[in-house]
Structure 1
Amino acid sequence: MIAWLTRLARQVAPVLLALALTQTAPAAAQPLKVTDLAGRTVTLPGPAKRIVLAQGRQLNGLGLIHPDPVSLLAGWGSDHKRQNPDAYARYAAKFPAIDAIPTVGDGATPDGFSFEKAVSLTPDLVILSQSLAGTRYGPGDLVQRFEAAGIPVAVVDFYLQPLRDTAPSLRILGTLIGREAQAEAYIRFYEERRGLIANRVRGAERRSVFMHAHAGGFDCCQSPGKGTFNDFITLAGGHNIAIDMIPGATGQISLEQLLASDPAVYVATGGLHLASRGGLVLGLGISPEDAARSFATQVARPGISALAAVRNGRAYGLWHLFNDTPLHIVAIEALAKWIHPERFADLDPQATLNEISARFSAIPLEGALWVDGTSKRGP
């Protein structure tokens, strides 16, 4: 009997071992597959770890879904440091490695981007904005050339049509870097806030709004036309008066045209890029007191001070760089509160920004990103 049991054990043991190995062995890694904003299928063998971010400012999107987005970069556009020095300083303080990341040109314009430098960094993924993706570059556009070099490319965008493209762009990035859950969490938060605004402005009067872009830094008056800020104003329940005068995405109207239009609400935009020009200064790290002084200077300028919106306390300041980041939901909340204070008395954009900073952002989001004006008068 003992001999029989011994033989049986020898026969069964290999089978049991094989079953155990089958149950404990990790499943083969599945490739990651998404459809990008250009309608292309992008496939990676696993989460990207060496990304070339052609437009550096898109770090602001990555930083909402990854705790250390800098660790993913093999190279990036230098436009982030130039255009968003306040955010750059905060990334550098928390992630010192950012200063050693190679740049691939400016990234803000097609001529500023270096295809050759990007390829030399051997990335496992290149991320292009919509505006760069269609750029003709030698014998083909950038997408075609990267594909010909065997480098995967994904097209995302937070600028041209942000209300349409923000959620899918975050979802694309989340999948390609293995952060789907974090991306979906931000998307849910974003869409809940957006839905609240859309519901409350339904049926409201479309009050006229003028957005003075880069206020004080250039001749009066640059303003957004179709796209980014116009979409924000529309969602917030306003009518962008520049859309009737500017055929493209941005343009300039005269002070005389502005005074003749006499909008109900005046919104100046600014940032650190205007500090050397004497323009409106807002941004991360800017104190409320400094922002208020800068804003007061702008609305006291000849012509601007004559606007009824300024006289009636319906003039406000907004960080210009809300125009290319998923943080723009905060800007829309501020605009809604300014355009329809009677419908949004309980809305607190600062609380929304604080929650994003605590729950999502890789860097602290502290500083004066808007100025509420000097009056609390009603519509």
Structure 2
Amino acid sequence: MNAPALRTALRLVALLAFALLALVRPAVAEPVTAVDLLGRTVSLPAPAKRIVLAQGRQLNALGLIHRDPLSIIAGWSGDFRRQMPDAYARYRETFPAIDDIPLTGDGTTADAFSFEKAVSLAPDLVVLSQSLAGTRRGPGDLVQRFEAAGVPVVVIDFYFEPLRDTVPSLRILGTLIGRQEQAEAFITLYEQRRRRIAERLAGAPRPSVFFHAHAGGFDCCSSPGKGIFDSLITLAGGRNIAADLIPGPSGVISLEQLLAIDPDVYIGSGGVHLAKRGGLVLGLGIGPTQAAASLAAVLGQPGFEVLSAVRKGRSFGLWQLFNDTPLHLVALEVMATWLHPERMAGIDPQATLREIEARFSAIPLDGTLWIEGPAAAAP
């Protein structure tokens, strides 16, 4: 081989070696930046791998955009295990190490959250909800305390204004943990299904709805005021009767008020937390027989049997824990189908739930999550 040919061959060998080296060289993590719900710019040198969930139930959202969400949780509050034992059990079946995650508080208030414990876990991101971030300023404010400690903190929320905050919160979370593609895929499904509901129900009359929160487990009658479930009822084509009676996001109306208004539709919400109280039992792992018996017991309580909604077969049960999670998309379809069956013909909320389970959820979503009450009594 002459000298020019040898030089050419050596160049080709060098180029090939360089290309192979580029293929095996580990990818360099790129910085990520998002603007949270408080309008704060949050920048990380790389997607977060050790996060603290100041409210454990934020796992509901994380588990829709990350197939192994426990792998990036350095610590969390204990509210998820206490408030959602059915979902916790499903996570434990798939991720047994869930019991070993360090606790940072109970997840209910800022005062019950251990700032010191969270910092000691050396997180690269702390995730706060609106209720824990609050609006205070000064030395007690959690956002400012984490900022002063040099710990990145972000505020997202799926509870107070779910229809406003769900999409940006998913996008923020997806960006900061390096799951933008997964987050955008869920957002696409979410927005398409919301738009379909709105288009189907445009101009539809709005039946009056009583939403009975934690039905049967407590004295009558807890109900959402403005915000939270009220916004979901409105998008589903109903009119929440408690919105004019309860000034805040939730409160209580009396049985006498309920009977006087006599709404067109009754929707009770429940969960496994009501099993020992004789309330409405719905949730992951709950069978239809248990759910039906619990709804019948609630509707059989004094006063409820005279409601027009019960007598006319327009009483229903819905999983309480559709709130504070992007899964409220399924609840929207369910309620819209109950309130406007003709306009929602062909829409199958169960198919939506199965699609979310197959494409996104880290855990199985089996169980009775909604139920229809008895049919109208014979005249």
SS at match of 1:64: helix
- 1:234 positional shift: 0.3
Task: Specify the alignment match of 2:340 in structure 1.
Answer: 340
* 8 Å Cα contact 1:66-1:362 kept in structure 2: yes
Give the alignment's TM-score, normalised by structure 2.
0.93
Task: Specify the alignment match of 1:162 in structure 2.
Answer: 162
Task: Specify the alignment match of 1:69 in structure 2.
Answer: 69
Task: Specify the alignment match of 2:208 in structure 1.
Answer: 208
Give CA deviations for 1:118-141 in whole Å, capped at 9, x if unaligned. 111111110000111126597141
- 1:345 positional shift: 2.6
Give the alignment's TM-score, normalised by structure 1.
0.93
Task: Specify the alignment match of 2:7 in structure 1.
Answer: 9
Q: In the alignment, is residue 249 of structure 1 matched against residue 249 of structure 2?
A: yes
Task: Specify the alignment match of 2:78 in structure 1.
Answer: 78
Q: Distance in 2 between matches of 1:50 and 1:30?
A: 16
Question: Which residue identity does 1:274 align to in structure 2?
Answer: L
Task: Specify the alignment match of 2:273 in structure 1.
Answer: 273
Task: Specify the alignment match of 1:122 in structure 2.
Answer: 122
Give % identity: 67
Structure 1 range deviating more: 89-98 or 346-355 = 346-355
Task: Specify the alignment match of 1:222 in structure 2.
Answer: 222
Q: How does 1:87-98 map to 2 (within 5 A)?
A: 87-98=87-98
Q: Distance in 2 between matches of 1:135 and 1:112?
A: 17
Aligned residues: 374
Q: Distance in 1 between matches of 2:346 and 2:126?
A: 42
* 8 Å Cα contact 2:138-2:144 kept in structure 1: no
SS at match of 2:103: coil
Question: Which residue identity does 1:148 align to in structure 2?
Answer: A
- 1:170 positional shift: 0.9
- 1:19 positional shift: 9.9
Q: Distance in 1 between matches of 2:146 and 2:20?
A: 41
SS at match of 1:52: strand
SS at match of 2:267: strand
* 8 Å Cα contact 2:311-2:376 kept in structure 1: no
Task: Specify the alignment match of 1:240 in structure 2.
Answer: 240
Task: Specify the alignment match of 1:262 in structure 2.
Answer: 262
- 1:299 positional shift: 0.6
Q: Distance in 1 between matches of 2:264 and 2:224?
A: 17
- 1:278 positional shift: 1.1
Give CA deviations for 1:205-255 in whole Å, capped at 9, x if unaligned. 011000011111111011001111001000001100000100000010110
SS at match of 2:126: strand
* 8 Å Cα contact 1:32-1:43 kept in structure 2: yes
Q: 1:314 to 1:350 in 2, by over 3 A?
A: same
| Consecutive unaligned residues in structure 2, runs of 5 or more | none
- 1:172 positional shift: 1.0
Question: Which residue identity does 1:159 align to in structure 2?
Answer: Y
Q: Distance in 1 between matches of 2:190 and 2:281?
A: 27
Q: Distance in 2 between matches of 1:57 and 1:324?
A: 8
Q: Distance in 2 between matches of 1:188 and 1:139?
A: 40
Give CA deviations for 1:40-91 in whole Å, capped at 9, x if unaligned. 1111111211110010001010000111101111001100000000000000
